[in-house]
Homo-oligomer: A and B are copies of this chain.
Amino acid sequence: VILCVAPSPAWDVTYHVDRLREHATNRARTVSGRAGGKAVNVGRVLHALGEPVTVLAPVGGPTGELFAEDLAAHGVATELVDDALETRRTVTIVSDETGDATVVNEPGRLGDWAVFLDRAEQLMSSASVVVGSGSLPSGAPVDAYARLARAAASHGLPMVVDTSGPALVSALAASPALVKPNLSELREIGHDDDPVEAARRLAGTSGTAVVVSLGAAGMVLATADHAWRASLPAGLRGNPTGAGDAAVAAFARGLRMGADWPAVLVDAVAVSGAAVLAPYAGEFAPADHERLAASVVVERIDHP
């Protein structure tokens, strides 16, 4: 089973308005909610790919109940740790006239990190791969992902980490199998040059594989020894929210299968593209996945 550790889960609320007017009162036409957060979206994609998955998340209060009920209704297996603090919400306001979305995220808060970490370590004894994704809640130490990566390593498990800033820097010191910073996250930790060079450098110094999304130009994957770039022949129009989570899911599945890096990169570009074509984060149409996988072009980029 692939263990998706979600320290900052959320109840994602979406409002549709005709057109958001700033500094004014807007009436929501529709209101909908779903369980979210990056690691939760990874878990949804893995479940849709047919992978046995467990989403580990802290939940609190009535919003935590909504979160639990939604994942249960979608058949995604969860291990929920009761926490004293209420599960956070995110609010997305979609202007129907333009399709633009404005998002406000409540900060994540975790009451008892030690209990959460203990549960994560327990679950590793029956896991094949560990995924840690999302910003860290207040209440978790900055080296939270590093501790999880070391625990995973002690269980002989590869771990994928998708986070940013100091949490990412800290995680790299624990040498997880793969990290997935985006361009702004690379800049944030001091790599503001060409993304291919940045990925190579980071992989070379950390020993961790580094995958970076180039948006419509595809993805680059660097290990200590090699690098590859993969892309679709044409750009896709759609909703990029959750595309990165879909890529993380593909890499977690690839690590579970022990697949070659270039093959996993091709699959990540295809699942990620299929996610762009789907309306909600964590969803995609299998037919899109299959069709796009056949058209991905991958090239080896030799080290200079």
Contact = CB atoms under 8 A, between A and B. Distances in A.
Contact of A105 (B23, B27, B107): B27
B24 A102 contact: yes
A29 to B, nearest CB: 8
A93 interface: yes
Interface string A90-133: 01010000001111111100000000000000000000000000
Interface residues of A, number: 27
Interface in A42-99: 61-63, 65, 91, 93
A29 B106 CA distance: 8
Contacts of A25: 103, 105
A31 interface: yes
Contacts of A106: 15, 28, 31
Contacts of A63: 62
B26 A103 contact: yes
A100 B93 CA distance: 17
A86 B303 CA distance: 59
B23 A102 contact: yes
B23 A22 contact: no
A17 interface: yes
A209 interface: no
Nearest to A88: B31
Nearest to A26: B104
A20 interface: yes
Contact of A107 (B28, B93, B107): B28
- Which of A21, A100, A105 has the largest number of chain B CB atoms within 10 A? A105
A26 B102 contact: yes
A65 to B, nearest CB: 7
Contacts of A93: 104
26 contacts: A15-B104, A15-B106, A17-B104, A20-B22, A20-B102, A21-B102, A22-B100, A22-B102, A23-B100, A23-B101, A24-B103, A25-B103, A25-B105, A26-B103, A26-B104, A26-B105, A27-B107, A28-B104, A28-B105, A28-B106, A28-B107, A31-B106, A61-B62, A62-B65, A91-B91, A93-B104
